[in-house]
Amino acid sequence: MVSVSSAADDQSFVRFHNVQKSYDGETLVVKNLNLDIARGEFLTMLGPSGSGKTTCLMMLAGFENATHGEIRLKGQRIDNVPPHKRDIGMVFQNYALFPHMTVAENLAFPLKVRSIAKAEIAERVKKVLDMVKLGHLGNRMPAQLSGGQQQRVAVARALVFEPTLVLMDEPLGALDKNLREQMQYEIKHIHEGLGVTIVYVTHDQSEALTMSNRIAVFEDGVIQQLASPADLYERPQNAFVASFIGENNRLPGKVESLNGKDCGVRLADGSLIRALPVNVSGQGDATTLSLRPERVRINPDSGTDNTFEAKVEELIYLGDHIRTRVNVCGNDEFIIKVPNSEQNGQLAAGETVRVGWSAQDCRALDA
């Protein structure tokens, strides 16, 4: 298990302390979660279906109870506080707008139940509508809006009562690709403008990389790694994180030599590769090498740590790069991303080329 506390432990805005969750009394869906979230942070809980991320969000919202441990918000335990008294805004995938109310009435509703004065309600509704660029649609019914507009209203409703914390559960999952990407930037900009704390759940790794300050990668009820988007992508700590975040070439082998800065890994075909030892303990360990496709060079400079002959199997044009599949080191599914500006029509399927990469870009992880 990784260490997932923030630097300012004593001033954590949200804290999960030894939290466990079981639905049947036997199987733990969330296993001994310790997580601190800072005020104003955008933290994404990322992982495949069944990894425990949504359960954590539902416990924070108050829709599920923890089996063990405690959850604190601003230093106060909220385990037994009902959802409507937690001062938390919530955005769901299905929008959850009231179909019989106009957009403005949907936004006014959480203010009315809090007995806010009418004049202030009108002012706040106008403010959030302008913030999500829907100031001209206050009198529309939800059914008259596009999916993207409905989701903006849902975000505005979660913010209108100025909550302590906003939770978002796969809020963009129902949108098409272009609209989803547009909404990612809009939510990111709203967060930056307001400084509100957001906890976001998704299984979409590109969404998490785009929006977050930090990402907690979940698998089997445990946070596998908690880090910034750049750290997760560039410095994964285990094979699961490496394979889940972005694309990577995986090469199984055994550690043949090990020193402070690199290790030698022998593959099944006999190739010896120098790599950065990240999650290996000693000579003889089974390991999986993780290497990003964009870190591999065709016809590399002399002095490159690892160079091999490779046969080009397939070239796929993807606009900004050529996705090049080669057979190297006994692996015929090895991918290289060749920038379009560097290709110049020089590669062809069936030819043999030299490929290479740095030891520091090749990470020796758990088997």
CATH code assigned at 300: 2.40.50.100
**pLDDT at residue 123, rounded to an integer:** 93
**Residue 55: other Cβ atoms inside 10 A:** 23
Tell me if 139 is assigned to some domain. Answer: yes
Q: Band the pLDDT of 343: cuts 50, 70, 90.
A: low
Same-domain pairing of 285 and 234 = no
Mean pLDDT of 59-64: 95
> Among 191, 220, 239, which residue terminates a domain?
239
Q: Is the pLDDT of residue 74 over 90?
A: yes
List the CATH number of the domain containing 27. 3.40.50.300
Same-domain pairing of 68 and 196 = yes
**pLDDT at residue 179, rounded to an integer:** 84
C-alpha span between 305 and 48 (Å, rounded) = 35
Same-domain pairing of 43 and 164 = yes
Tell me the average pLDDT of the chain.
91
**pLDDT at residue 46, rounded to an integer:** 97
Same-domain pairing of 253 and 188 = no
Q: Is the pLDDT of residue 11 over 50?
A: yes
> Among 182, 211, 239, which residue terminates a domain?
239
C-alpha span between 72 and 235 (Å, rounded) = 30
- Note the pLDDT tens digit of each residue in 261-309: 899 999 999 999 999 999 998 899 999 999 999 999 999 988 999 999 9
Tell me if 3 is assigned to some domain. Answer: no
Tell me if 1 is assigned to some domain. Answer: no
- Is there a contact between 42 and 167 (Cβ–Cβ < 8 Å)? no
Same-domain pairing of 66 and 112 = yes
C-alpha span between 153 and 132 (Å, rounded) = 8
Tell me if 299 is assigned to some domain. Answer: yes
Same-domain pairing of 235 and 271 = no
Q: Is the pLDDT of residue 101 over 80?
A: yes
Same-domain pairing of 56 and 198 = yes
- Note the pLDDT tens digit of each residue in 137-164: 999 999 999 888 998 899 999 989 888 8
Expressed as residue numbers, the domain containing 220 is: 9-239
Same-domain pairing of 32 and 140 = yes
For the chain, what is the domain count?
A: 2
Predicted TM-score (pTM) of the model is 0.89
Q: Is the pLDDT of residue 8 over 70?
A: no
- Supply the DSSP symbol for 41: -
Same-domain pairing of 267 and 226 = no
Tell me if 164 is assigned to some domain. Answer: yes
Tell me if 80 is assigned to some domain. Answer: yes
**pLDDT at residue 340, rounded to an integer:** 85
Same-domain pairing of 210 and 188 = yes
Q: Reading across the β-sheet that carries 331-339, which strands appear in turn?
A: 297-298, 352-357, 306-317, 321-328, 331-339
Tell me if 2 is assigned to some domain. Answer: no
Q: Is the pLDDT of residue 215 over 80?
A: yes
Q: Is the pLDDT of residue 109 over 60?
A: yes
C-alpha span between 258 and 274 (Å, rounded) = 10
Same-domain pairing of 40 and 130 = yes
Same-domain pairing of 129 and 44 = yes
Q: Is the pLDDT of residue 3 over 60?
A: no
Tell me if 343 is assigned to some domain. Answer: yes
**pLDDT at residue 344, rounded to an integer:** 59
Q: Band the pLDDT of 313: cuts 50, 70, 90.
A: very high
> Among 209, 239, 269, which residue terminates a domain?
239
Q: Band the pLDDT of 6: cuts 50, 70, 90.
A: very low
Q: Is the pLDDT of residue 7 over 50?
A: no
Return phi, psi of residue 271, to 5°.
Answer: -65, 140
Mean pLDDT of 56-69: 95
Q: Is the pLDDT of residue 356 over 70?
A: yes
